[in-house]
């Protein structure tokens, strides 16, 4: 079975084509600058690399351009688009209704449309990608895999905010959470690695990429999560502030005369590692600057680590202990010094880092970075959201057949 995974952003389409027989990746790539005069496609199939510019004024044209490369008579990996047995779409926001991956029908499309107000940058391009794929590959089942679905098991005490109740009942103000597909993938994989049944594993999963989020998982299900109504809440991120006192917004509006759009942009795009360090949103650059003696960069890393330690403490208490803390995402999978500092901050919970394990568990490797028998085992588990989407697409399509 061949599954095509599509992740449409406002100006990009990322994709992977899987052979689900052995879960191998037949091809993958990214089309950038969709909607501009000239788009750029970077495609890889095995050792073969293709780069081309193309005209993709919209997502439909972009998808056709990708399918052309996949079915290129000279060196495509497919003879025809009809060989695709299922298309899996990453959809950011499924609201309260979508608790699992779903075969896309009119009802599912309506839910994605209805939640566009909660994810204005993501749901509309996700929808555009779905419509384009339904037109281009009409014979294949189309499956929506929601970022919010894994977090739909949060209890009200974790997802409600202590604000007037009608903000929830009339305006859908609650914690939804994001990165759910990644948290689910690493939960299942960590359970496997730890030798604990997936429906009995208790974990704190920590996705540290450009966006950063943490989930408390009890008996395999999410019970708390750090992102909120939007991805702005929680941990310090590349350009997002994470938690701040909401009164900071009133204060800056009154004192500095900032309007809502400026505040939104400042907290989402000019804060986090970038805002504090003044150097970069990229952890590698910030670490390099800190090592070079830049005090602001050093403080940014300290804030980043401290917030993680605070959340782990909270979730450890919520769970009453857990089988492991799981680190993933670009920083979790690679940033040895950040991981060492997280472990140092958690020494009170029994998470002492073993330097050799920490140093060698990088670049896609999985494993514990704490010694055997640690009070709080810390594991690095590389995430693979595309594979999770492909597996769901296979399973949902099989149920339909």
| Residues numbered 143-202 forming contacts with ligand ADP, rule: CB under 6 A | none
Vertex 334 angle, CA 241 and 389, to 5° = 80
Point out which residues pair with 4 in neighbouring strands: 17, 87
By CB under 6 A, which span of 146-154, 281-289, 317-325, 387-395 interacts with ligand ADP?
Answer: 281-289
- Per CB under 6 A, does 284 bind ligand ADP? yes
In the residue annotation, 147 being an active-site residue is answered as: yes
Q: Which two tokens stand for residue 70?
A: 């996949």
Residues in 18-47 at the binding interface with ligand ADP, rule: CB under 6 A: none
**132 vs 283, beta carbon nearer ligand ADP:** 283
- DSSP letter for each residue of 156-201: HHHH--SS-HHHHHHH--S---S-HHHHHHHHHHHHHHHT--TTT-
Please tell me whether residue 209 binds ligand ADP under the rule CB under 6 A.
Answer: yes
Which of 147, 224, 384, 392 is flagged as catalytic? Answer: 147
Residues between 312 and 331 that touch ligand ADP (CB under 6 A): 329-331
Alpha-carbon Rg for the chain, nearest whole angstrom, is 21
Does the protein bind ligand ADP through residue 66 (CB under 6 A)? no
Q: Which stretch binds ligand ADP (CB under 6 A): 3-11, 206-214, 221-229, 315-323?
A: 206-214
Q: Compare residues 125 and 329 and give the one whose CB is closer to ligand ADP.
A: 329
Rank residues 32 and 282 by Cβ distance to ligand ADP and give the closer one.
Answer: 282
**272 binding ligand ADP? (CB under 6 A):** no
> Contact region for ligand ADP (CB under 6 A) — 40-48, 144-152, 241-249, 282-290?
282-290
* Binding status of residue 334 toward ligand ADP by CB under 6 A: yes
CA–CA separation, 229 and 92 (whole Å): 12
Dump the DSSP string for 273-285: HHHHHSS-SSHHH
The continuous run of DSSP H or E covering 8 comes out as strand 2-8
> How big is the site for ligand ADP, counted in residues (CB under 6 A)?
13
Candidates 95, 211, 242, 345; binder of ligand ADP (CB under 6 A) is 211
13 interacts with ligand ADP by CB under 6 A = no
DSSP string of 52-92? EEE--SSHHHHHHHHHHHHT-TTT-S-S-GGG--EEEEEES
Does residue 283 bind ligand ADP (CB under 6 A)? yes
Spatial separation of the C-alpha atoms in residues 253 and 260, rounded to whole Å? 8
366 SS3 class: coil
C-beta separation of 165 from 219 below 8 A: no
- Which residues contribute to the site for ligand ADP (CB under 6 A)? 209-211, 238, 282-284, 287, 329-331, 334-335
Hey, which residues are catalytic here? 147
């Amino acid at each position: 079975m061949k599954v095509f995974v599509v992740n449409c952003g406002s100006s990009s389409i990322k994709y992977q084509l899987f052979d689900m027989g052995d879960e191998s990746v037949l091809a993958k790539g990214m089309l950038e600058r969709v909607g501009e005069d000239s788009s750029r496609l970077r495609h890889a199939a095995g050792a073969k690399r293709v780069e081309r510019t193309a005209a993709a004024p919209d997502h439909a044209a972009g998808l056709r351009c990708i399918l052309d490369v996949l079915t290129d008579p000279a060196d495509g990996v497919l003879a025809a688009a009809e060989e695709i047995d299922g298309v899996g779409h990453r959809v950011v926001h499924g609201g309260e209704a979508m608790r699992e991956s779903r075969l896309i029908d009119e009802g599912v499309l309506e839910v994605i449309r209805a939640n566009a107000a909660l994810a204005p940058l993501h749901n509309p391009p996700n929808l555009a990608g779905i419509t384009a794929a339904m037109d281009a590959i009409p014979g294949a089942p189309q499956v929506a895999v929601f970022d919010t679905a894994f977090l739909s098991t949060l209890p009200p005490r974790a997802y409600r905010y202590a604000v007037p109740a009608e903000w929830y009942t009339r305006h859908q103000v609650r914690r939804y959470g994001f990165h759910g597909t990644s948290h689910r993938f690493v939960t299942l994989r960590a359970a496997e690695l730890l030798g604990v049944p997936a429906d009995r594993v208790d974990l704190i999963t920590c996705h540290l990429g450009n966006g950063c989020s943490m989930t408390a998982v009890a008996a395999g299900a999410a019970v708390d999560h750090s992102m909120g109504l939007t991805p702005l809440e929680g941990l310090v991120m590349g350009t997002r502030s994470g938690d701040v006192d909401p009164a900071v917004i009133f204060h800056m509006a009154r004192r500095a005369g900032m309007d809502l759009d400026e505040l939104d942009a400042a907290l989402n795009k000019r804060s986090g590692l970038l805002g504090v360090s003044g150097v970069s949103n990229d952890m590698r650059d910030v670490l390099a600057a800190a090592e070079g003696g830049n005090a602001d960069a050093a403080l940014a890393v300290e804030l980043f680590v401290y917030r993680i330690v605070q959340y782990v403490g909270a979730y450890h208490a919520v769970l009453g202990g857990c089988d492991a803390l799981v680190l993933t995402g670009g920083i979790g999978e690679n940033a040895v010094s950040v991981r060492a500092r997280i472990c140092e901050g958690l020494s009170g919970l029994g998470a002492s880092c073993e330097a050799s394990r920490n140093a060698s568990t990088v670049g896609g490797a999985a494993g514990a970075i704490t010694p055997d028998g640690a009070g709080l085992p810390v594991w690095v588990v590389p995430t693979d959201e595309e594979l999770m989407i492909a597996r769901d697409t296979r399973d949902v399509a099989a149920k339909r057949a």
